[in-house]
Structure 1
């Protein structure tokens, strides 16, 4: 199987996961450029990272290779991608926890089955709770966990979140523990202006505020306002 090396990360070109568009961006080192530029501005070796919506494992592997934080925990709702992330980590010698799960805030109803329906699409980045009207999809049962429980388990100082619109409600009621930074990709086309406003409001209630330190375009950094002002 072909291996693409992009920004120091080795990615196996499995056609079931890596579509030509993604492969092209990886070869040209355009894949996840805002994150590759923004994350080193605030993530350090002392941090513990929780990545929600870990995709193909590129960001977690990039962080391990270039920053080497204390720990990395990945959560991915798509079971195919969760398995693929483990392969990418193994190929690159990365030690990280990978969980196939959907995370919910404390005030969300937990289904008795312990799972929720999740639509897996091609391309994979459009997979979500909502049934995409213009893409073929496969419905799977994704395990459900509370975000607060995951935070207690891995004790992150940094949360990275890219969940295709799920960010609108994820942060409603959460015990953030020792989290200092939250780095969110905002999907306005899915959640609209009201969803963006709600997400900002929820994080403000938990003492997180917008920081320009690594915010750019749809990537927004929130910092706990109890931190020293010199870090803003």
Structure 2
């Protein structure tokens, strides 16, 4: 087998991990990562995908073919059985990446640790991302006070930015008031962009679970 063909086959076998790592980089991991870190994630996610596929094959009582890496340079790796397993691993890896995104974006592990009072930290992201990633109405309805223009934007958070360079929000069902409480306008959608240090946001809905807010400091 030529080296080029070997690497092509190896790349095909790594597709489950590449797909998962790409999804994680685009929608889950909020910080920049080096090529080395991305490669490690590809390998770990790929191994996890194949391990889950192996368990699935055991439950289905289907034969699972092991990769013979020791002789991979001398013979074809992508047998018919291996191709089928790789396709299944891609499907399993994609499904697992969705579950992974829920766990990362909704801070499942962090919330569990907070629930048992093992930590009060909310993770590596800033409070902005942690707050608006919550699906609770307590933090999804906001009052934004614009002291420069002396207006208040009141509405539901529809979209928020995940960058530290500029705080962006798209609100729905918006009411705009002046500081005297007079209604100025009621647009169905409103886009707001401010510098991180120039945004004042209030959450008027009373939290239903005050013990959760006590953990975030």
Shared fold (TM-score, shorter chain, > 0.5): no
TM (norm. structure 2) is: 0.23
Query: Which structure features the higher share of strand residues?
Result: 1
Query: Which structure features the higher share of helix residues?
Result: 2
TM (norm. structure 1) is: 0.22
